[in-house]
Each structure stands twice: as C-alpha cells, then as structure tokens.
Amino acid sequence: MSDPAQNGITQNHVNGALDERIDCLVDELLSPLTPIDRAAAARRELVALPRGSDHLAQHQRVDERLRVLFAPPAKPAVPALSQLAQIPLRTPKRLHPLRIAAMLLFASAAAIAGWALLSHWSQSMRERGPSWDQLYMAEINSGFDPDLKYTTQAELTELFVIRLGREVTLSQRDSSDGVELVGISLTPPAISIQTLTLLTRVDEKPVMMMADALSRDVEPPFDAGSGLYLHRREAPPLVYYEVSPWPEPRVIPLLSEPTERICPPCDEEEAPTAQK
Amino acid sequence: MKTVRHQPSATSASAARLTRDEFARRLEASARLFWCIAAGILGRRQGADDVVQEAAMIALSKLDEFDPATSFNAWVSQIVRFTALNQARRHDRREAAPLQDDVSSRPARPGSAVTSDGRVMSDQQDFDDEVLRALATLEAMPRACLLLRVVMELSYADISQALSIPEGSAMSHVHRARRSLRERLESSHHAPRPHPAGAPR
C-alpha cells in the first residue's frame, strides 16, 4: 500500500512541473515572435494538458488588457531638441597633478596632526592619572585597609588564578622575613583592571605589591622624589611592581614563578609581543 | 596558420562621441520602449512620461560617459529604471494608497453600471482593476519584464539587453509574473470558468 504523504508530495511535484510546462507553452503561444508552426504545436500540446485551455484563456485576456492599459503613447513626450540643447554637458573631471599633490600633502599633514594630537592626548590622559607613589599614599591615608583580608595562602593563589590566570604562590616564609600579608586592594587599579594589588607590611612599614600581565605593562608614573622606591621584576607572562619605603624589594622575591596556565585570562599574555 | 590580431575599434569611447542630434534621434526612436520600462517600474501609466523626460535630461547631461560602442538603449534604459524607481519611492511617500486612487479616479467606460453606493461596475472595468491591483503587487523588475514581453512584444534577448539582466532572468521574471497574476486573479474570482475538459483542481 502506498504512503498517502508520499503520494501528496509526488502529486505536488507533478502539478508544479505541469504548471511550468503550461506556462512555457502559454508564453510561447502568446508571443507574436513565435513561428506559426511552433505556435500551432504549442497550442496542440496545451489543449491536451489538464487546465491548459483555462490558463491560455486567462492569459489571453490578461495580455489583451495589459496591452490596452499600458499601450505606450504613439509618440511619448521626449524633450525637444531645442530643449535638450539647453542642457549643459557635464565633462568628466580630471584632477590636475598639482591639485592631486596638494591633496596628498594636505592628507599627510592632517594625518600627522591627528597622530600628534592623539599622542598628546594619551600622554596627558596618562599624566592625569595618579602616580603610583600617590596610590601608595592614598592607601596609607585610607588606613591601609584591604578590600579582601588575607586569610590563607591557598586563597591568595586562587585570586592570582582568577585575576591573572596563573598560579603564583608565596614561598615558605618564617617570621624572620618580617613580611606580614595584609590583604588585597581592589581599587584603584594601577596597570589595568586586572591588576592584583597586594598590601603588605614589611618590618611594620606598608609595602604595596602589584601584579599584572606583562603584555599590559606600562611606563609606571612614579615620582622619584617621593621618598619611596619602585621595584620591578618580570616573571613572564606576569610583571610585578613593589612600591616600598625600602630600597630593596622584599615582597617580590617571595613570589614563586607563575606556573602553568590554568584558565583563559592569560591567553593574550602568551603572545610573542608580551616579551619586553 | 593564420593569426588574427585584434585591432582596437575606431569607435572607441574616447574617439567618438554622440552628438546632441544623434542623441535626440535615438531617444525618439526608442521612446516607446523607455516609456514602457518607466510604466513597468512605476506600475501605472501616470508619471511614465515625466520619468522618460527626466531620464532624457539626465542622460544628456552625462552624454560624455556614454560609450558609443555600447548599446544606447541599454544605457538610457538603466537611467530610466533608476529615475522611475526614484519617482515610485517619492510617489509612495506622498500617497498612502496610490493604486486605489488611480483606479477609482478613472472615468467610467460606456456601458458601466452604477451601484446604489455610486460605485462604477462593469465586468471589464472590474477585471481591469483586478489586473492593475495584481500587477501592483509584483516587484518592479518582473512587472517591467512582463510589460516589455506582452506590450512591447520583445524577445527575451531584447528584454535582457534593455534591462541589463541575463536572458534567463528575464524569462523567469516573466513566468513568475504571469503565474502570480493568474493566482491573484483566480483568488479574486475573476478566473474564467473552468474548462469542462479540465481536470479538477
């Protein structure tokens, strides 16, 4: 027993092909360009097809009305020659070489001026931000109170992973190193939004350590006359800074080298340009 | 073995240029074709004259851009097409239901009956209205192809050249336009009575 659905599809296909054939025959038959013998053949085939005569009759009527409704005027109104003579001819514009040179010069000058403005603007924007010694002082003035208090080594490591995608740990410490981990400051970011700022006390004096991706490293704005020291160490793909009253870095040496990538945030750091 | 070397045409664009007289002559010779394209794009007679005139002015002002080695009709047709499309857009913006206005404003033909609500009724006029309405639902290009085929009795090759489209596209535009018209007219109960010999639908 045949499938009714399959039969329906087949029937539609047949009807579609039949309609197509009827349309072709109608078109051929109604065209005055068709030779008489071909038109006669088309008519014979058409009337033999189901619905062929109906379609032919309808199209004949439609065509007849279209010829009436859209018959062009015997002489459509076109502009008279005298009218056309008044229209100025537009000559294609050819630029003079000197004008081209002037335009190129102008474009170059505009590009240079734009670049200069942009670099000046970015420089001033950078200068407008607080220097790192100011950030340090701001932390002191606000009580050196961290946003996240240091609890465990594991938690700090997890924070490194979350922020920078690298596992960084503090080396085995004893009380003799004089370093007390206070916590993490979330504001303001020194290098980028991902900067991890660790507040510590070294021999009772506040020391601020910042870590970020080396690829995002910047020229640190720092006032050398502030009485503070800025220490830096690259540990690809990370970079560490330490703002401290001590002439030697005390916190950075405690940090282990960042180990394998754990999560995606460090993808960009692995680009070759990350090397400084 | 004989080698045929291509010689550059003496009538290259830079060498020859169409004069105003020649332009006017060619324009007049093909004015009916341009009018029909304009009417086809617009979907109505009204405005087709204006389109042809505007297109002629534009074409003349750009005469230097025309390469006499190419088809004049194709070049002007293209300008007519764009001009008509612009005018159709302007017209659509101005009038919410232009076709209804056009149809209803047409004077009644002799023999027309008038209903109690004053509407003009006649089989022929109703059928014309339906044809115009169905035609208005077509896209501009299929409509123009259909009119060029039916009214101007052009071959598909000529339609293809006039509208700068492939011949196959011209053919399928005409076929689709015909079918669409037929279906719309059938749904409006203006189809002719089914042929006794015809198979049931």
Q: Which tens digits make up the pLDDT trace of A142-175?
A: 888 888 888 888 888 888 888 888 888 887 666 6
Beta bridge partners of B37: none
The pLDDT tens digits for A225-243 are 889 999 999 988 899 999 9
Question: Which pLDDT score is estimated for B94?
Answer: 67
Which of B56, B175, B181 lies at the smallest CB-CB distance from A62? Answer: B181
The nearest CA of chain B is from the CA of A32 a distance in Å of: 7
From chain A, the residues in CB contact with B47 under 8 A are: none
Report the share of chain B in percent with pLDDT over 70. Answer: 71
Report the share of chain B in percent with pLDDT over 90. Answer: 21
Mean pLDDT of A39-46: 79
Asked if B182 and A63 come within 8 Å (Cβ–Cβ), the reply is no
Report the length, in residues, of chain A.
276
Q: Which of A181-195, A239-253, B120-134 has the highest mean pLDDT?
A: A239-253
Residues B186, B189, B195, B201, CA torsion sign: positive
Edge-to-edge strands, sheet with A196-202: A148-149, A179-185, A196-202, A205-213, A238-244, A229-235
Question: Which pLDDT score is estimated for B41?
Answer: 92
Residues A188, A190, A196, A199, CA torsion sign: negative
Task: With cut-offs at 50, 70 and 90, classify the pLDDT of residue B103.
Answer: very low
Question: Which pLDDT score is estimated for B121?
Answer: 47
Question: Which pLDDT score is estimated for B122?
Answer: 63
Which of B61, B131, B175 lies at the smallest CB-CB distance from A69? Answer: B131
Question: Which pLDDT score is estimated for B83?
Answer: 92
| Burial tier of A63 (Cβ tally within 10 Å: 0-12, 13-18, 19+) | buried
SS (H, E, C) B63-99: HHHCCCCCCHHHHHHHHHHHHHHHHHHHHHHHCCCHH
In chain B, the residue whose alpha carbon lies closest to the alpha carbon of A46 is B198
Task: With cut-offs at 50, 70 and 90, classify the pLDDT of residue A88.
Answer: low
Which stretch of A48-62, A253-267, B126-140, B167-181 has the lowest confidence by average pLDDT? A253-267
Task: With cut-offs at 50, 70 and 90, classify the pLDDT of residue B105.
Answer: very low
Task: With cut-offs at 50, 70 and 90, classify the pLDDT of residue A128.
Answer: low
Judge whether A251 and A207 are in contact, CB under 8 Å. Answer: yes
Position with higher pLDDT, B50 vs B118: B50
In chain B, the residue whose alpha carbon lies closest to the alpha carbon of A20 is B175
3-state secondary structure of A88: coil
For residues B74-103, one letter each, b for 16 or more C-beta atoms within 10 angstroms of the residue's C-beta and e for the rest, the string is ebbbbbbbebbbebbeebeeeeeebbeebb
- Tell whether the model's pLDDT for residue A26 goes beyond 60: yes
A257 Cβ contact list (under 8 Å, min separation 6): A235
| Burial tier of A143 (Cβ tally within 10 Å: 0-12, 13-18, 19+) | exposed
In chain B, the residue whose alpha carbon lies closest to the alpha carbon of A27 is B175
For residues A8-41, one letter each, b for 16 or more C-beta atoms within 10 angstroms of the residue's C-beta and e for the rest, the string is eeeeeeeeeeebeebbebbbbbbbeebeeeebee
- Tell whether the model's pLDDT for residue B79 goes beyond 60: yes
Mean pLDDT of B32-40: 92
At A172, phi and psi to the nearest 5? -55, 125
CB pairs under 8 A between A and B: 131
Token pair for B45: 């007679």
The nearest CA of chain A is from the CA of B134 a distance in Å of: 11
Asked if B32 and A72 come within 8 Å (Cβ–Cβ), the reply is yes
Task: With cut-offs at 50, 70 and 90, classify the pLDDT of residue B40.
Answer: very high
Mean pLDDT of B67-75: 87
Question: Which pLDDT score is estimated for B197?
Answer: 37
Closest to B78 (Cα-Cα) out of B58, B105, B106: B58
The nearest CA of chain A is from the CA of B119 a distance in Å of: 20
Position with higher pLDDT, A216 vs B105: A216
Can you tell me the ipTM of this complex?
0.72
Report the share of chain A in percent with pLDDT over 70. Answer: 75
- Give B107's DSSP letter: P
From chain B, the residues in CB contact with A58 under 8 A are: 182, 185-186, 191-192
The nearest CA of chain A is from the CA of B76 a distance in Å of: 13
Question: Which pLDDT score is estimated for A80?
Answer: 66
Which stretch of A130-134, A265-269, B68-72 has the lowest confidence by average pLDDT? A265-269
The CB density around residue A77, as the number of other CB atoms within 10 Å, is: 14
Task: With cut-offs at 50, 70 and 90, classify the pLDDT of residue A188.
Answer: low
Going by their DSSP bridges, the two strands B113-114 and A179-185 should be labelled as unpaired
B183 Cβ contact list (under 8 Å, min separation 6): none
Position with higher pLDDT, B172 vs A124: B172
Distances (CA, A) of B182 to A53, A58, B134, B192: 13, 7, 9, 11
Question: Which pLDDT score is estimated for A93?
Answer: 61
Q: Rounded distance, CA A163 to CA A194, Å?
A: 6
Task: Show which residues on chain A lie within 8 Å of chain B, measured between beta carbons.
Answer: 19-20, 23-24, 26-27, 30-33, 50-55, 57-59, 61-63, 65-73, 75-79, 81, 84-85, 87-92
The pLDDT tens digits for B165-181 are 898 899 889 988 988 88
Asked if A77 and B49 come within 8 Å (Cβ–Cβ), the reply is yes
Token pair for B161: 């050249």
B84 Cβ contact list (under 8 Å, min separation 6): B37, B38, B41, B42, B48, B51, B55, B140
Question: Which pLDDT score is estimated for B10?
Answer: 40
Task: With cut-offs at 50, 70 and 90, classify the pLDDT of residue A87.
Answer: low
Question: Which pLDDT score is estimated for B98?
Answer: 46
From chain A, the residues in CB contact with B192 under 8 A are: 54, 57-58, 61
The nearest CA of chain A is from the CA of B13 a distance in Å of: 13
Token pair for A38: 């071909």
In chain B, the residue whose alpha carbon lies closest to the alpha carbon of A81 is B24
